[in-house]
A = this chain, B = another copy of it.
Amino acid sequence: MSGRTWDVYLSGEIHSDWRERIEQGVEAAGLPVSFSAPVTDHAASDDAGVGTLGDEDEAFWRDHKGAGVNAIRTQTLIHDADVVVVRFGDKYRQWNAAFDAGFAAALGKPIVTLHDEELDHALKEVDRGALATARTSEQVVDVLRYVIEGQLPG
């Protein structure tokens, strides 16, 4: 499989360093992976619509406009992805992460969920739509290494 680069989309939580840990682990392992993600700058993401297309008076439409611009990015990258990793943290409702997971599932994309055990029951439908549920970024790296190179960790 020389030459194949795996496109991995990292959806979900934007308030911890889980993406960086996956990216560092993958780099350390020398895996041919190209990562993509939503815009993870929270303030920029919230202003995606009004910051590019002009202000809005109503909060609902401000969000609507922003979500539209963000969706240009996220839908395109999810369509392109070989694997979609979806992270749920302990804060915020992260409905967009679950929405991404459902979207990816309907497209037949392999999904890896990443969350703590305490969220298991609440996430059971999302986890059932995934092919793997990891607890740590390191496990995601281990899964990617195995998937790409067939090697189990140490």
Q: Which of A44-64 contact B (CB under 8 A)?
A: 44, 47-49, 51-54, 56-61, 63-64
Identify the closest chain B residue to A95 (Cβ): B98
Does A24 make an interface contact (CB < 8 A)?
A: no
CB distance from A88 to the nearest CB of B (A): 8
CB distance from A30 to the nearest CB of B (A): 16
Copies of this chain per assembly: 8
Q: Which residues of B sit under 8 angstroms from A98, Cβ to Cβ?
A: 95-99, 102
Q: Which residues of B sit under 8 angstroms from A122, Cβ to Cβ?
A: 92-93, 95
Contact B139 A52 (CB under 8 A): yes
CB distance from A35 to the nearest CB of B (A): 7
A-B contact pairs, 17 of them (CB 8 A): A3-B34, A40-B150, A52-B152, A53-B132, A53-B142, A58-B58, A66-B124, A67-B124, A67-B127, A68-B132, A71-B110, A72-B147, A76-B82, A76-B83, A79-B108, A98-B102, A102-B104
Q: Interface on A for B, CB 8 Å cutoff?
A: 1-4, 6, 34-36, 39-41, 44, 47-49, 51-54, 56-61, 63-77, 79-80, 82-83, 88, 92-108, 110, 112, 117, 120-135, 139, 142-143, 146-148, 150-154
Other than the given A53-B132, A76-B82, A108-B108, 17 more pairs (CB < 8 A) read A4-B36, A6-B76, A40-B150, A41-B150, A44-B150, A51-B152, A52-B146, A53-B143, A59-B121, A60-B133, A69-B131, A71-B129, A72-B147, A76-B147, A93-B122, A95-B97, A106-B107
